[in-house]
Amino acid sequence: PASRAYSLVDSSQVSTFLISILLIVYGSFRSLNMDFENQDKEKDNSSATGSFNGNSTNNSIQTIDSTQALFLPIGASVSLLVMFFFFDSVQVVFTICTAVLATIAFAFLLLPMCQYLTRPCSPQNKISFGCCGRFTAAELLSFSLSVMLVLIWVLTGHWLLMDALAMGLCVAMIAFVRLPSLKVSCLLLSGLLIYDVFWVFFSAYIFNSNVMVKVATQPADNPLDVLSRKLHLGPNVGRDVPRLSLPGKLVFPSSTGSHFSMLGIGDIVMPGLLLCFVLRYDNYKKQANSDSCGAPGPGNISGRMQKVSYFHCTLIGYFVGLLTATVASRIHRAAQPALLYLVPFTLLPLLTMAYLKGDLRRMWSEPFHSKSSSSRFLEV
């Protein structure tokens, strides 16, 4: 059985495993680091004004509530149908919007590296660009590199550049979108599981085609080619640019080059939001316990169980779910809805551990805004 399972996973799928896990871990820690920076800014502001508002939030962070969690699968379904029926009409606009978002997201991904490179030779003072705003040298460098990468991707259409842009989108979404509670997490992931299963398994019976697979794999016209045709620049101008596979997925070629392994960024981002939530909760609980002089957990739970973090438990579940989805796709030789495997393997161990450790009730309903908590932990 072990050799059989190994034969069902090739090098492209191993690359997908490693990259998706690294993106989730990196995005989660970037999110936690943003929380620390916001807390430090609030402390500085409170020391200057003599007051502290524990309920203030960063405007750039979007928190998903219960209503949004319920309607997100419906909105995703509508968008999928629009792309399925009207792709030829909206492909240029969609490509341009995706390129702009990917540019901003990849600049966010490169920012820590650029800050490290520019720190010795450049002060962190912001440079004014009039109505465009004020930016540091590191922000300008990361944005310039991101624009360069997007332009090269448009000219070449290489899968590796598309993957880089998709990685930036994954990290930015995990870092800037938050799940406030376990209840919202369960609503969102359960709804997306139904969405994924329906559009992969049952859409062919209604639309005579697998809607999810067709939209994910359909290439778009290159904007340079469209522009040359609109402006009548001649038959040789812009005609040699390739069609673009949009960065809504990660793709890796197999060792033989006969096929590509593909994983949608939604299958990384949505479980990644859950991983980000439990990482923040682990840190929140650790700080709360240190303030209460390390109060022990429930008496029926061993000390070793208390030391197991929710983040590690859920991350292992994500890996096992991704491995199961990959093996299932190779056995059935057909596309599989990854969330069908990822959601149970992440949510069920998390719910079980939270129940055993006595944290389920607190995690279920906005644990970071508990009235009994110290104000320094309210902002996450």
**Which residues lie below 8 Å from residue 266, measured CB to CB, with a gap of 6+?**
76, 192, 196, 339
Element (H, E) at 347: helix 339-356
**Dist. CA 309–CA 122, nearest whole Å:** 39
CA of 293: how far to CAs of 6, 319, 354, 373, 378, in Å? 48, 35, 21, 14, 19
CB distance 255 to 10 below 8 Å: yes
Ranges of H-type helices in 157-265: 159-176, 182-197, 203-207, 211-217, 223-230
Considering Cα of 285, then 291, then 294, then 297, what sign does the dihedral take? negative
Q: Which residues of 29-48 are buried (b: 16+ CB within 10 A; e: fewer)?
A: ebbbebbeebbeebeeeeee
CB distance 188 to 179 below 8 Å: yes
Catalytic residue among 196, 225, 282, 359: 196
For residue 283, the number of C-alpha atoms closer than 13 Å in the C-beta half-sphere is: 17
Secondary structure (3-state) at 336: coil
In 3D, which of 138, 145, 143 has the Cα closest to residue 121?
138
Q: Is residue 196 flagged as an active site residue?
A: yes
**Dist. CA 241–CA 238, nearest whole Å:** 6
**Which residues lie below 8 Å from residue 256, measured CB to CB, with a gap of 6+?**
none
Catalytic residue among 35, 163, 267, 359: 267
Catalytic center residues? 196, 267
